[in-house]
Structure 1
Amino acid sequence: MTSSSSALVLFSGGQDSTTCLAWALSRYERVETLGFDYGQRHAIELTVRPTLLQKLRECSPAWQARLGEDHMVDLSLLSRLSDTALTSDVEIAMQANGLPNTFVPGRNLMFMMVAATLAYRRGMDVLVGGMCETDYSGYPDCRDDTMKALQVTLNLGMASRFKLETPLMWIDKAQTWELAHALGGQALVDLIREHTHTCYLGERGALHPWGHGCGRCPACVLRARGYEEYVATLDTAAKTP
C-alpha cells in the first residue's frame, strides 16, 4: 500500500485501463473509476464496463473491498468539436501533420481535468491513466512530458497536491500483458482477453487469442502483437531449465 489512500482511475473498458485499475487496486485502500461518453465510434467499450467492474471485484476479496463508486461523464462536446476517425465513420489514415486521424485533440487533457475536478470533490489525491509513449500511435497527449506539465497545471489551478500516475508509460504491450499477469494471474489475463474492448472500429465478433476486435485497426494490431510477444516469452521461460 502507498502513503496515499485513494485513487481515481480513468477506466474506459479497454485493456490498458483495466490493467491500470488492477494496478491501483493492488496499491490503494479506496479506488473509484471514471468513464467518458464522448461520442466515440467504439462506444461498445462503455457497454462492457459494468461487467468488467463486477468481474474485477470477483478476482479478489481485497479488490472487492477497495473498489468503490463508478462515475460516468458526458463529454459528447468532444465529438462535436473534432472530426476524427474515433468520433466519425471515416477511414483511419495518417494526416499531413504526421498524426493518425484517430487522434482526438484535447481528449486526454480534458479527461484529466474532469478527473481532477471529480477527485477534488471526492477527496481523492491520485489520478491514474493508461497513457503510454512506448507502444502507441504517437498521440502528443499520451506523452510523459504532457502528463507532468498537466499535473503542475492542475495543482496550481486547484491549489491541490494531485499525483498523476501512468503505470504503463514506459512499457510496451507485451509488458502490459505481463503486468496484468503479475497483478492478477491467469484469471486477470483471461478477463482482459475475453471482456475488455480496445478495437477502434467497435467490432466485437469472434474471440481471438488476444481478445475481441477487427484485427486491422492500429489498436488491434498493437494488442495482438503484444499478446504474441507475451506468449512467446512465456514459452521461452517454460523451456528454460
Structure 2
Amino acid sequence: MKDNAALVLFSGGQDSTACLAWALDRFERVETVGFDYGQRHRVELECRQTVRDAIAATFPTWATKLGEDHLLPLDVLKGISDTALTGEGEIAFQENGLPNTFVPGRNLLFFTFAAAIAYRRGMKHLVGGMCETDYSGYPDCRDDTLKALQVALTLGMDTRLVIHTPLMWIDKAETWRLTERLGGAPLVEITRDLTHSCYLGDRTKVHDWGHGCGSCPACALRAEGWRRYRAG
C-alpha cells in the first residue's frame, strides 16, 4: 500500500472540501470518492466537480496531486431507510434524541466502499469530514466508531488502512480557519461560493456564508461557524 496516497470521502460540502485541502497539503497523490444514495440534497453531487476544478485551477501544486474521482451509486440506502435526508419529511428530532436526518449505517458503508477502492488502488489512507463537536449527534460520526471501523477494515482487508478525521475535534468556526490556513482567502471563497451543505438542497438563496435555505440544521451550523470565524 502506498503511504503517500489518500482517498478522500468528498461530498461537495464545506467539511469534505476542507478535508480535501488537508489531504492535498499532506499526501503526494489524492483521489476522491462520492456517493449517490438518493439524498434529498443531491445537488451536492453537482458541486463536487465544480469544487475540484476550482481547487485545481487555483492551486497548481495541488493540481499535480489531485487524481481520479469516483462516484458510486448507493441508492440502496434510500430503499432501506425512512429519513428526512432521503425523503421529503419535515426535519425533526426522534424519540431517541437523534434528528431524523440520521441515515443508519451511512458512514459505515461509505468507509467500507472507500476501503475497497483504496485496496484496489493501493492507497493506505482514508480521509473523512466527520466531527464530534458541533454536529448533529450521528453515532457513525463519533471517534470511537471510526477507530473501531479502522480496525475492522484493516482486519477485513488484511492490510493496514488508516482513517483520518482532521475535523473530529474542531467546530465549524475552526473549520473555516483551517480552510484559510490551508489555502488562504481563495480557498475560503471556493468553499463559501461553490460548496453545498443545505439538507433541503436549496441553492436559490445566497447568504454571506454561502448557499442554502438558512433554516435547516446544516445551514444553522454553517452560518454560526461563519459568524464566529468572521468575528475572530
TM-score (norm. length: structure 2): 0.99
1:124: which partner in 2? 123
Secondary structure of the equivalent of 1:69? strand
Residue 135 of structure 1 and its aligned partner are, at CA, apart by 1.1
Equivalent residue runs for 1:27-46 within 5 Å = 27-46=26-45
Residue 185 of structure 1 and its aligned partner are, at CA, apart by 0.2
Q: Could you list the structure 1 runs, at least 4 aligned residues long, displaced by more than 3 angstroms after superposition.
A: none
CA distance in 2, matches of 1:184, 1:73: 28
Equivalent residue runs for 1:85-164 within 5 Å = 85-164=84-163
Counterpart code for 2:136: S
Residue 58 of structure 1 and its aligned partner are, at CA, apart by 1.4
CA distance in 2, matches of 1:122, 1:84: 33
1:19: which partner in 2? 18
CA distance in 1, matches of 2:206, 2:174: 21
Per-residue CA distance 1:47-79 (angstroms, 9 max, x = gap):
111111100101211111000000000000000
Residue 116 of structure 1 and its aligned partner are, at CA, apart by 0.2
Secondary structure of the equivalent of 1:223? helix
CA RMSD of aligned residues (A): 0.8
Contact kept, 8 Å, 1:173 with 1:222, in 2: the verdict is yes
CA distance in 2, matches of 1:98, 1:51: 36
1:175: which partner in 2? 174
CA distance in 1, matches of 2:71, 2:50: 15
Contact kept, 8 Å, 1:59 with 1:184, in 2: the verdict is no
1:236: which partner in 2? none
1:195: which partner in 2? 194
Residue 206 of structure 1 and its aligned partner are, at CA, apart by 2.7
CA distance in 1, matches of 2:21, 2:108: 23
2:72: which partner in 1? 73
CA distance in 2, matches of 1:39, 1:65: 32
TM-score (norm. length: structure 1): 0.95
Counterpart code for 1:74: P
Counterpart code for 1:211: G
Unmatched tracts of structure 1, length 5 or more: 234-241
CA distance in 2, matches of 1:193, 1:212: 8
Secondary structure of the equivalent of 2:26? coil
Q: How many pairs are equivalent?
A: 231
CA distance in 1, matches of 2:221, 2:205: 18
Counterpart code for 1:103: F
Secondary structure of the equivalent of 2:169? coil
Secondary structure of the equivalent of 1:9? strand
Secondary structure of the equivalent of 2:163? strand
Counterpart code for 1:99: L
Equivalent residue runs for 1:220-239 within 5 Å = 220-233=219-232
Counterpart code for 1:196: T
CA distance in 1, matches of 2:45, 2:168: 23
Contact kept, 8 Å, 1:17 with 1:130, in 2: the verdict is yes
Contact kept, 8 Å, 1:199 with 1:212, in 2: the verdict is yes
Secondary structure of the equivalent of 2:3? coil
Secondary structure of the equivalent of 2:201? coil
CA distance in 1, matches of 2:138, 2:166: 17
Unmatched tracts of structure 2, length 5 or more: none
Contact kept, 8 Å, 1:24 with 1:31, in 2: the verdict is yes
Percent of pairs with identical residues: 65
**Which shifted more, 131-140 or 56-65?**
56-65
Counterpart code for 1:54: D
